Amino acid sequence: MSISTPMATDQRRYRILFAVAQGLALLLGGFTLLNIAGELRNPGFDANLWWIDLRFANRTLNRLLLLSMAIGLLGFALRPQFAPCHGWLLSSLLAVLIVIAAMNAWVFRQLVSTGVIQSSFGVPLSAIVVITLILIVWGCHSSIRYSTRCWQDRGYYLLSVAIGLLLFPLAQMYCFGKTDYRRPADLIVVFGCKVFSDGVPSMALSDRVKTGVELYHAGLAPRLVFSGGPGTGEIDETAAMRNLAMELGVPDEDIIRDPEGLNTQATVHNLVAANGDAARPRVLAVSNFYHLPRIKLCFRRAGWEVWTVPARESRRLYYQERFLLREVAALWWYYLNPS
């Protein structure tokens, strides 16, 4: 019969923490490499902005830094007992990124404190990135002592990857999606969702339209674009949205309908096509918070900048967990298909 000592328990905890650091390194390194490849297929589309903002520096240097870091992270995740010099090199790269991510987090907090943006969540994604990178740096310097030696440790390793695949998109939805970037624009684009058979908008759709109308009445843009598909009855989503907006005081001539906006990509495609080669309008995009990261991705792929505004929700949606999980799958699908 073996007796667990405090020292053995601590060693076990550190080995689990090391396995988690490896899993996070695999996830972050793979995500970074995937997005570098994606930018080669779709020039100008940089999804690595989700976790680190390097736009202040030279693009070539940025890509070299991220590529080196991604290769180093994958090396640590797959073969942790690499030479000590490699560990110090990776740690140095990560230290630079930790400083930059901390600066990103500080800028976010400054924008919130000065009222330039608003956030009902309050935690910048960059702060989570800082903690993640610090854990990986610790793992790099502990690789010889705590390298995975048994199947239980590898289980924690794989579990951390699986949890990371779930939590990273959720972090985007809460950290980014619950941040209000409203500012003067040319168009307010409101994304559609369910309309009942009697033409009454669902609560989610009503909240979106009311938020768009609020932006309109605040003078932030002169026109509203309602985009959606068919309803469950004779009245489609955009007609129901227009009816509600007119009840709230928006004149019909300031409303543009896009009844062919069957999904997020279709809405963005139709808006881009409608503007042709003309100057790209400044756009405020309105939807529920969990939908906004995907909207941002779609506009960025089209080469447009967009500012997102989360709908002011009347109450928590009944099926919100289902919507969140759907968006997790949709976001990873978008990352895997960057064109």
Chain segment 28-52, per-residue pLDDT in tens:
999 999 998 888 877 767 888 889 9
Return d(Cα 324, Cα 56) in angstroms, integer: 32
Question: What is the average per-residue pLDDT within 292-321?
Answer: 91
Q: Which of 26, 66, 74, 73 is nearest to 48 (CA)?
A: 66
* Tokens coding 164: 């990371």
Q: Which pLDDT value is given to residue 1?
A: 44
Residue 86, pLDDT > 80, answer: no
Give 220-248 pLDDT, tens digit per residue: 999 999 999 888 888 999 999 999 999 99
Strand-pairing partners, residue 286, are 190, 309
| Amino acid in the structure at residue 76 | F
Q: What torsion, rounded to 10 degrees, do the Cα atoms 96, 72, 54, 284 define?
A: -130
Mean pLDDT over each residue of the chain, to the nearest integer? 88
112: confidence class by pLDDT, cuts 50, 70, 90:
very high
pTM, whole model, 2 decimals?
0.89
223-227 and 187-191 strand pairing: parallel
Q: Which pLDDT value is given to residue 83?
A: 54
Give 5-32 pLDDT, tens digit per residue: 665 566 777 778 888 898 999 999 999 9
Return d(Cα 217, Cα 229) in angstroms, integer: 25
Rounded to 5 degrees, φ, ψ at 284 are -105, 125
Domains in the chain with CATH codes:
6-176 (no CATH), 181-336 (3.40.50.620)
Residue 312, pLDDT > 60, answer: yes
Q: Which pLDDT value is given to residue 76?
A: 87
| 86-100, 123-137, 266-280: which is most confident | 123-137
179-180 and 118-119 strand pairing: antiparallel
Question: What is the average per-residue pLDDT within 287-300?
Answer: 94
